[in-house]
Amino acid sequence: MPFTYEYPRAALTVDCVVFGFDGEGLKLLLIERGLEPFKGRWALPGGFVRVDEELEHAARRELHEETGISEVVLEQFQAFGGINRDPRERVVSVAYFALTRLDDHRPQASTDARQAVWFNANELPKLAFDHQAIIQQALTHLRSRVRVEPIGFHLLPPKFTLTQLQGLYESVLGREVDIRNFRKRVLAMELVVALKKEFQRGRQRPAQLYRFDPKRYEQLKKSGFQFEL
Amino acid sequence: MPFTYEYPRAALTVDCVVFGFDGEGLKLLLIERGLEPFKGRWALPGGFVRVDEELEHAARRELHEETGISEVVLEQFQAFGGINRDPRERVVSVAYFALTRLDDHRPQASTDARQAVWFNANELPKLAFDHQAIIQQALTHLRSRVRVEPIGFHLLPPKFTLTQLQGLYESVLGREVDIRNFRKRVLAMELVVALKKEFQRGRQRPAQLYRFDPKRYEQLKKSGFQFEL
DNA sequence: CCAAAAGTGTTTAAAATACACCCATGG
DNA sequence: CCATGGGTGTATTTTAAACACTTTTGG
């Protein structure tokens, strides 16, 4: 048969599960829908993929258009294709999760009227479409990825304390972590370097600041090292 | 704006990376393309998703149509959407891996002229489209999944010896495994039960046959057990 | 009786865990 | 001077790794 595929086609979208961390807990960025269906409901940033556009590019573009966020770490984790996930017609969505430094993306008045708001990952409002399920999967993926790749650092500011890093892991994994064992492991990996004479001050003892060393990670990876936390 | 999305749309397909194991090594099922583009090249089983069809259903259907295989374990692992992955037009493919008992699916004369053939996973021919890359990703996923979920059993016959199981893990992970430590771990998990008085005979000492116990696995999972090999 | 694969335990090393007190600062 | 979170070491348990010989069968 010649290539004449003239059947109706599903629409193709991308959705982004945007994670952030503020020292308190894991956060998720949602936008309020301005249109039907699900007008007024909260939803994931996302939208249609252009026919000549890479999937990841579409995710980046939609994220930028709807929330102002750019230069973000994106990872595709699953396609969602349930027949009735969109009440209008068949829409298949490729889902990405994004890891952002929350402080760089405090809620701004969004360009196009719709507002973007950070929610606690475990206190989400009622969501549009199957976005609840997408988020659930994203969390599962994040939890397993964060233990075998040093991606958690993308949720922290470039300079961070070990306490912040620990808090991040506790939030993502949903359980407490022993402070001494955690520090032992992190420092033993030598993926993180102490910044000389740089401290974070509060109303208590100043905390040593560290930064993640991506070059060091590349080195280690080449010599068979496997990140694990 | 009303919902009038009248732009050209990408076509949507599914592709299946079908794994098998024959005691020798990991195998992959490919079909020879009968049509352009890539006529005569080997390719993954797969095809178009109907507009009212679940993704997984499409994967199952295509697999059945092209290879005769049914009742198989399928797991979606990634969507591939590179702009020029299909020379004809934009095609986004949702990729699944399938785990089959190879002996149940020995090469038959396929229903529709095209033949399906098992290849050694590390001696693949030149492939159509970006199927090489899809397989690469499938292997990576399989390798990490097989260590944290008891899915490897789907590649073995219902009754198997521990040596077969070990060989499977060695093939998938690509490294040797210590026989005594492996057996110790497997038996300690109690996911596998010895079949009374059932042995596999060869020209040497008969080997105890075991079967995987899925109910036991469900039990254990509920009580917080985490499979790991 | 020989070849071939099945089966079996112990010792050692490494890694994970549990655990409690002193430190430096801001207010 | 006190409240707050930062920072540190050791002993114990658990887990992983290394390692070689005996058994059973078919031919």
The pLDDT > 70 percentage for chain B reads 94
Say whether residue A113 is in contact with chain B using an 8 A CB cutoff. no
CA distances from B106 to A135, B40, B41, B154, B201 (A): 41, 21, 21, 16, 22
- Rounded to whole angstroms, the distance from the CA of residue A4 to the C1' of nucleotide D5 is 68
Token pair of A165, please?
């890093």
What is the reported pLDDT for B6? 74
Output the pLDDT for position A109. 52
Neighbours of A216 (CB within 10 A): 15
Q: Does B119 touch chain A (CB under 8 A)?
A: no
Domains of chain B by residue range: 11-148, 156-222
Determine the pLDDT at residue A105: 84
Residues in chain A predicted with pLDDT less than 70, given as ranges, are: 1-5, 107-113
For B1, name the nearest residue in chain A, comparing CA atoms only. A35
Instruction: Name residues 160-179 of chain B with a Cβ under 7 Å from nucleic strand C.
Output: 161-163, 179
Give distance CA A228 / C1' D15 (Å). Answer: 16
pLDDT tens track for B72-129:
999 999 999 999 999 999 999 999 999 999 988 876 655 555 789 999 999 999 999 9
Taking the stretch 175-194 of protein chain A, residues with Cβ within 7 Å of any atom in nucleic acid chain C are: 178-181, 184-185
Cross-chain Cβ contact B9/A83 below 8 Å: no
Mean pLDDT, chain B, whole residue set? 93
Among B3-17, B138-152, B159-173, the range scoring the smallest mean pLDDT is B3-17
| Distance from C-alpha of A120 to C-alpha of A129, rounded to nearest angstrom | 20
Measure CA to C1' and name the residue nearest C8.
B180
What is the model's pLDDT at position B58? 98
Within this chain, domains A11-148 and A156-222 share the same CATH topology: no
Question: Do the Cβ atoms of B79 and A83 come within 8 Å?
Answer: no
The answer to whether the Cβ–Cβ distance between A81 and B7 falls below 8 Å is no
Cα of A55 to nearest chain B Cα, Å: 6
Q: Between A198 and B6, whose confidence is greater?
A: A198
How far apart CA A22 and CA A26 sit, in angstroms, is: 7
Give the pLDDT score at A9.
Answer: 95
Test B5 with A12 for CB contact under 8 angstroms: no
Instruction: Please identify, in words, the CATH class of the domain defined by A156-222.
Output: mainly alpha
What distance lies between CA B31 and its chain's CA centroid? 15
Q: Using the CB atoms, write b or e for A156-176: b if 16+ within 10 Å.
A: bbeebbbebbbbbbebbbeee
Judge whether residue B180 has pLDDT over 70.
yes
B119 burial via Cβ count (<10 Å: 0-12, 13-18, 19+): middle
State the average pLDDT over residues B18-27: 95
Q: How far is the CA of A165 from the C1' of D13 (A)?
A: 27
The nucleotide whose C1' lies nearest the CA of B194 is C7
Nucleotide C10's nearest residue (CA vs C1') is: B180
- What is the predicted pLDDT for the residue at B110? 52
Which helix (H) or strand (E) segment holds residue A195: the answer is strand A192-200
Q: Would an 8 Å CB–CB cutoff place B1 in contact with chain A?
A: yes
Q: Does A109 touch chain B (CB under 8 A)?
A: no
Query: B105 or B21: which carries more pLDDT confidence?
Result: B21
Closest to B5 (Cβ–Cβ): which among A11, A54, A76?
A11
- Indicate if the pLDDT at residue B54 is higher than 60: yes
Query: Which residue has the least CA–C1' distance to nucleotide D24?
Result: B205
Local structure of A71: helix, strand or coil: coil
Output the CATH code of domain A11-148.
3.90.79.10
Q: Is the pLDDT of residue B1 over 80?
A: no
Of the listed ranges B18-27, B105-114, B164-173, the one predicted with least confidence: B105-114
> Which pLDDT score, from 0 to 100, does residue A89 have?
95
Nucleotides of C under 7 A from a protein CB: 3-10, 16-20, 23-27
Using the CB atom, is residue B206 less than 7 Å from strand D? yes
Q: Which H or E run contains A21?
A: strand A11-21
- pLDDT-derived band of residue B7, with 50, 70 and 90 as boundaries? confident
B113 lies within 8 A of chain A by CB: no
Does residue B139 register a pLDDT over 50?
Answer: yes
A14 Cβ under 8 Å from any chain B Cβ: no
Mean pLDDT of B163-188: 96
Mutate to test the interface with A, among B92, B93, B130 (most CBs of A within 10 A): B92
